[in-house]
Structures are given as C-alpha cells and as structure tokens.
Structure 1
Amino acid sequence: MIETTADLATACEQLARGPYMTVDTEFLRETTFWPQLCLIQMAGPDIAVIVDPLAKDIDLAPFFALMANPDVIKVFHAARQDIEIIYNLGNLIPHPIFDTQVAAMVCGFGDSVSYDQLVSRIKGVQIDKSSRFTDWSRRPLSEKQLDYALADVTHLRDVYLHLKDQLEREGRSLWLSDEMAVLEATETYDLHPDDAWQRLKMRLKKPQELAVLQKVAAWREREARARNVPRGRIIKDDGLYEIAQQQPKDAEALSRLRTIPKGWERSSSGAAIIEAVNAALDIPKNEMPRVPRQQQSPEGAAAASELLKVLLKLIAEKQGVAAKIIANTDDLERIASEGDKADVGALKGWRRELFGDTALKLINGEVALRFVDRKIEAVEI
C-alpha cells in the first residue's frame, strides 16, 4: 500500500499520463455522519495501486489534483458515494467521469447491475466476495483483503473499455451525458441543512406542521454534522414527524411524546427542539410554507399509466436498454396526466426520440398495443 505523499505523487503522475483511470474507495459510515475514507484504489492501463489514507505520513493533495485533471477520464462503478467522499474531503468533484453502472443500463445489462455481475458477464470472472464485509479501518489488512480491494479497479478497466466500445458502436455515447451531469453537479452532494426536510417522506397536511418539520430537521442536520454521527443517533425520523404534528412548546409537552426518550426533554437537545418549534410557530401565517399537494389525476390516467408501463418495457427490451434509465414511474404518471406538457426527462432528448413520442401517441389514441404470435407490439393507427 502507498503510505507516503511522495509515493502517492509518483503514482498520480503515472496515472495522469493515461487517457483514463479507474477509481474506487472503501469507507465506513455506520457510526459517523461523514464517511471515513479507509482505502483508495486506482488503476490505469499499466498501473494499479492501493493508497492508505489513514497513514500518518500522507497528504492526499496529489490524489485530489488528479481527480480534477480534465485530461483523464475517471471511471467509477456506482459513483455517487465515492464522489461524495472526494467532494467532502477535497472540496472538488472529479471531472470528467464515466459511471459503468449507468453505462451498463444504456447497454442493456439491466437496472442497477452490480459490479461483480458486470465483471462476470463481460469477463467471465467470478469475484471472491468473502472479503466484502471487511472493517477497512483496521490495520494490517491481509493479502486476501488487499487483492479483493484491488480487483475493484483492475477488472473495471476491461469493463470500461467494453462498455465504451459498445456505446460508440451503437451511437449511444451521448446518452450518458445527462446522468453524468447530475453526478458532476455540486448540488447533488451539498445539501443545505435548511433543505434537509426534503429527504423525508411527506406525511403532513398543514403548513404549521411543515414549518416545524423544516426547523427541526435543519437542527438535526447541523447537529449530526457537528457531532459527526448519523442523523438517527440525534433523533429518528419518526420523532421528527411526531414533533411536527404535536408541536411541543415546552419541556413538559416534549416529555409526553412517545418517540422522545425519558428525561431527554431536560437536555440541551430538548431545549434546542423546543426553540425550533417555537420559532416555526412564530412565522407569520402568510409566510408559512406551502404543503406540496398532489394534483388530482384526470379520469383514465391510472389506466393510461399502466399502458405506458407496457410500452416502456416493450421499447426497452427491443432497444436493449434498461427501462429505468428511460423513464421512471413518476414520468409515466405525469405523461398520462399532463400529456406533452409534462416536464419530465422521458420527453427530452434521446429519451423522447426512443420512447416519449410513441408514449404521447399511445395516450392520444394514435398508437395501439396488440398481442401477435405471443408477443406484444406497438402499431400506428
């Protein structure tokens, strides 16, 4: 393992000379808010290394500089968590990137295919997964564990080259651009504490309840970050909902809540929650947040949505693309309800050409689905 800044710089210089590199990380986050980076694996066409970010004599600056190098394509599999770590530690987002999980969906390998499944199908190699649940923060790591970690980037080279060639051969390289733009966007990883409530499933019906939820969720987010513990260690989601609905204005009211541990109302956290609740209730009525309302779907929209699901599956199978990357359930429901006025990805760019235009014809009665020779097909009327 690389354990010094000098050795890391040498490896990064060599990797920077290639057109692409594969990257993976091993981390722990079960007991912390911020992921604890434990290993970095990197490989280029003729080099593969493991970096120990926990080594006392290492500065990761060369690694971050390499991640920012626009001349080297950074290849990940299921990139989001790896990029989140790099963003949090290095204050940068790798660019340009290539996510093999997304590329595999475009190439017809199914929805959210795993790395080991992809390696098996492309290379015919079975990865030994016995080291998957390693505590990567422990030292020393065994040769078997290091071999497992390195395999996450060495096989990825062949997977990348195979998918890249297939995308170019089928003229689908640009299909990845929208997904890669999301992965390279700062807002994907930099959620402001005041927006933390958006992670929660809406169970509320009144503006006051939403105002309280927003304030308490923001407090929990800041507290979890400051103490570097998971959000649920501060207070669980069910507790946030109960506080939003019961709106305790003092310690006595807080102590009566089912989700609040006994005696917690007398703690500094209890006082902070009471303060957040009262701050929310002090918001003038005309400035209260609006509770998102689900629009009433027009008659027949539910049935139309079911037909669109059949059409999506039909087109996805015919074109060899994972249905999930073309459209999701929300896209289909909105197309069924709003037609060509629906502002959804399925009606934009290559997705519209592949699926969206036919979907609109289906709900407008210009295309029919029929069953012929034990197969479903779409026919223009």
Structure 2
Amino acid sequence: MMNTGYIKDQTTLEKICVYLSGCTYIAIDTEFIRERYYYSRLGIIQVASEEVCTIIDAQEVKDLSCFFDLLINPSITKVFHSCKEDVSIFYSLFQKVPGPIFDTQIAAALTGYEEQMSYGKLVKSITGVNLGKNETYTNWLQRPLTDKQIQYALDDVHYLPDVYFHLVKLLKEMGRYEWALEEFERLEEEENYHPKEIESQFKMLNSNNIRGKTRNILIALLIWREEKARHFDRIRKDIVKDEALITIARKCPSSLQELKLIPGLFPKFIKQYGEELLEVIKKGKQQKKSIKIPQKIREIPEGATSLLTAFIKKKASEENIAQGIIARKDDIEKFISHYLYGTKSDTTLMKGWRKEFIAKELEQIINGEVAIKFSPGNKQISLLRIRE
C-alpha cells in the first residue's frame, strides 16, 4: 500500500479523489474533538484503499465536496470500524449519509468475535499487529501534528482493508453475508443521524418523577437551552446545568429576584438571560396540554427477560455469534410486551435474519409451548417441549 502522505491543499485532495473514484472500496476513519463543543469539530480524515493510505487535513482543506462525492458513490463500499460517530460527522457536514457502508465491528460480532470489539484488538486478532495507543488523547485540532500522531492516525486505516477482506470471507463462509448487509442498511437510514437531543433528555424527566405543568416548563427550558447550545456551539452544561433547570421548573420563579434564589444560576447568567428565562417559564405554564413523553414498556413479569436472555446466550454460543448483536435488553422486553399485551413493537427480533434465527423459539418459550431445561451434568441449556 502506497503512503501518499499528508494532504493539506485542494489540488492534492482532488487528485487523490480522482484515483479513489475508481476503487471498489475505501477504508475511512476520522479524528475529531467534541468535548467542549455542541458540534463535533473534524480534525482529520484517514483514507486507505488498494494503493493509498493518507490523511486529509480537514482544518487546512476547506472544500471537501470532492471527497463527499466519493462517500455517496454507490459503486464504492465505505469501510469503517464502529461507524456511527464518523457517519454522524459527515451527515452534519453534508446532510447525507455515506453508503454503502461496511462496518467491521458489526461484521466481527456476526462471525464469532466479541461484541463491540475494539479496532486494535480486532487488528491484533486478524493480522497479529499490535497498534500503539500513545496518541489516543491527542488534540486533533492543534497544528502541527507530530510524526507520531500522524502515524497513529494512519494505522487506524492502514490495516482496515485486511480486516475487511478477512471478515467478508468469513461472512460468506458462514452464510451470514446477507445478515451483515441487512445491518449495514440500517446504519444508512437518515433518521439515525437526525438530532434527538430533547428526546434523549426525557429520561431525566421520568427519573425525577416530574409531571404536569412542571414537566411542561422543564421541556420548554430544555428546548431553550438546546437552542442556545446550538447557537453558541457549546456543550449544554456550559449554558446551564440540568440540576438548575429542574429546580427552576419546580420552583417556577416569576421574577428576577426569585431567579436569583435558584442554586447554580450566577449573577452574570441572570443578567444576560433572566428576562428570557422568565418568558420561557411563562409559556411553559400556559401550555394547556401536557407534553407527551415516550411511554415506558409495560411491566414485564419478573424473570421473563432473564429467561429469554439465558436462551439467547445459549444460542449465541452454539452458533458462534456475539450475544449482544442478536438482541439487547430493550429488544427482549419489547418482544415480550408484544406477545403478552399485543403492544406494537419495532424490536429487531421480529425482523429480518433475527426473525428466522431465533424469534420462533423465543415465541414458543413465551407461549409456554417449551420450557428451558438446565442439565447440571454437562452444564447445558436446552428446550424441552411441554406435553398438553
């Protein structure tokens, strides 16, 4: 593989993109900073293919459109390891999801490697190469990057093609290549990358048992904070902390003097945003209908989730597949809720390869058609059909 170095000018980027446009795959990784900002700041993009392994300096090259054209080229497979953060950054920049995607972390889980296996561990397992971790906490926006930082970044894609081809071979040998394509298609759905900041904070409302007008006020405050964080490109707690918002919603202050009594609100903040906050509180109070929050799954009978989890673990071990990629706890609970209460469910257990792979057996357990039997002698779990 040819190392073309470090791209920091438009002309070189365009030349590399012309070459890459003729490739069948591109291995991609990104390095970014997100700790202090609302939007992740892209530092560099690492790219590898048949004869190229290079870094694109996203701080120096301002027009990445020719590279974006490659990301959405349907003839080129985009190979990532644990792609969601990388794809999220590209989506925020270009408002489209790269594709087609091949995620080596998912492919590894489907072929018997552990779930959510790190890139370094997977490279070691497949190629025998130990990757360094010394530059993990690099500030990828700082320039110039050192030779060690550049080499660390290049290593993140240098071995990715080898991993990719190995996993494709395994998937096809195990008859699971179509399973992988199904998983990758889900990664390419745009809704995965739409902002869901307010929805993700509903858990905070439920955990604090906030209801009625107090809940409406808090949601109005969350929306206000989200807009400020987005506008100033700062993390939410830099605007105002969760605890302060909850206290404001509960105390429902109606004057600047009352706002000053809220712990965590500093005089400078109140001077700058006090009147604005009071208006937000007022609108929240005037909300006639209670703002809906996604409902929790209906209560599951004690032990039911553990019972199905035990069987899924057994099946995963027998079939040489990571347990977590078959189903997570919330998928199992949705599955149980659907069969016990007729709840509409979008659980992955009722779709695609999982439906054929395991759903029928889980349904038989729930319906009482079979029981799970544990044999102390060989320490094995098996299904025992129940006679009527």
Same fold by TM-score greater than 0.5: yes
Matches within 5 A, 1:316-335: 316-335=316-335
CA contact (8 A) 1:371 1:377 kept: yes
CA contact (8 A) 1:264 1:270 kept: no
Q: Could you report, residue by residue, the CA deviation over 1:18-74 in whole angstroms, capped at 9, with x for unpaired residues?
A: 11110011111122111111111001122111111111x642121111112111011
1:60 is the counterpart of 2:64: yes
Q: Structure 2 residue aligned with 1:364, among 355, 359, 367? A: 367
User: Residue in 1 aligned with 2:350?
Assistant: 347
Q: Structure 2 residue aligned with 1:87, among 71, 87, 91? A: 91
Matches within 5 A, 1:251-270: 251-258=256-263, 260-264=264-268, 266-270=270-274
Q: Structure 1 residue aligned with 2:279, among 257, 275, 281? A: 275
Amino acid at match of 2:362: A
CA contact (8 A) 1:22 1:156 kept: yes
Q: Could you report, residue by residue, the CA deviation over 1:159-200 in whole angstroms, capped at 9, with x for unpaired residues?
A: 111111111222212223443334222222221676564474
CA gap of 1:134–1:16, structure 2 versus 1, over 3 A, is same
Q: Give the secondary structure class of the aligned counterpart of 1:226.
A: helix
* 2: CA distance, partners of 1:60 / 1:302: 53
CA contact (8 A) 2:297 2:334 kept: no
Amino acid at match of 2:221: V
Aligned-residue offset at 1:311: 0.5
Stretch moving more, 331-340 or 142-151: 331-340
CA gap of 1:333–1:58, structure 2 versus 1, over 3 A, is closer
Instruction: Give the TM-score normalised by structure 2.
Output: 0.90
Aligned-residue offset at 1:296: 4.8
1:244 is the counterpart of 2:246: no
Q: Give the secondary structure class of the aligned counterpart of 1:309.
A: helix
1:190 is the counterpart of 2:194: yes
CA gap of 1:171–1:272, structure 2 versus 1, over 3 A, is farther
Aligned-residue offset at 1:257: 2.2
User: Residue in 2 aligned with 1:156?
Assistant: 160
Amino acid at match of 2:116: S
User: Residue in 2 aligned with 1:49?
Assistant: 54
CA gap of 1:137–1:155, structure 2 versus 1, over 3 A, is same
Amino acid at match of 2:357: L
User: Residue in 2 aligned with 1:13?
Assistant: 18
Q: Give the secondary structure class of the aligned counterpart of 2:7.
A: coil
Aligned-residue offset at 1:150: 0.5
CA gap of 1:320–1:297, structure 2 versus 1, over 3 A, is same
CA contact (8 A) 2:224 2:280 kept: yes
CA gap of 1:295–1:13, structure 2 versus 1, over 3 A, is closer
Q: Structure 1 residue aligned with 2:290, among 288, 298, 306? A: 288
Q: Give the secondary structure class of the aligned counterpart of 1:308.
A: helix
Stretch moving more, 270-279 or 239-248: 239-248
CA gap of 1:306–1:193, structure 2 versus 1, over 3 A, is closer
Stretch moving more, 187-196 or 223-232: 187-196
CA contact (8 A) 1:196 1:218 kept: no
Q: Give the secondary structure class of the aligned counterpart of 1:267.
A: helix
Aligned-residue offset at 1:297: 2.6
Aligned-residue offset at 1:146: 1.0
* 2: CA distance, partners of 1:178 / 1:198: 30
CA gap of 1:196–1:369, structure 2 versus 1, over 3 A, is closer
User: Residue in 1 aligned with 2:8?
Assistant: 3
CA contact (8 A) 1:369 1:379 kept: yes
Matched residue count: 375
CA gap of 1:39–1:215, structure 2 versus 1, over 3 A, is same
CA gap of 1:225–1:293, structure 2 versus 1, over 3 A, is closer
User: Residue in 2 aligned with 1:69?
Assistant: 73
Q: Give the secondary structure class of the aligned counterpart of 1:256.
A: coil
Amino acid at match of 1:331: D
Note the aligned Cα RMSD (angstroms): 2.1
Q: Structure 2 residue aligned with 1:103, among 91, 103, 107? A: 107
User: Residue in 1 aligned with 2:384?
Assistant: 379
CA gap of 1:380–1:66, structure 2 versus 1, over 3 A, is same
Structure 2 portions without partners, runs of 5+: 1-5
Aligned-residue offset at 1:94: 0.7
Matches within 5 A, 1:164-203: 164-191=168-195, 195=199, 197-198=201-202, 200=204, 202=206, 203=208
Q: Could you report, residue by residue, the CA deviation over 1:184-229 in whole angstroms, capped at 9, with x for unpaired residues?
A: 2222222167656447462334132221222111111111111111
Q: Structure 2 residue aligned with 1:218, among 218, 223, 240? A: 223
* 1: CA distance, partners of 2:112 / 2:276: 51
User: Residue in 2 aligned with 1:31?
Assistant: 36
CA contact (8 A) 1:361 1:367 kept: yes
Structure 1 portions without partners, runs of 5+: none
CA gap of 1:351–1:303, structure 2 versus 1, over 3 A, is same
Q: Could you report, residue by residue, the CA deviation over 1:258-279 in whole angstroms, capped at 9, with x for unpaired residues?
A: 3x23325632323322221111
* 1: CA distance, partners of 2:33 / 2:334: 39
* 2: CA distance, partners of 1:205 / 1:178: 39
Q: Structure 2 residue aligned with 1:116, among 115, 120, 132? A: 120
Amino acid at match of 1:70: P
Amino acid at match of 1:47: V
CA gap of 1:250–1:204, structure 2 versus 1, over 3 A, is farther
Q: Give the secondary structure class of the aligned counterpart of 1:42.
A: strand
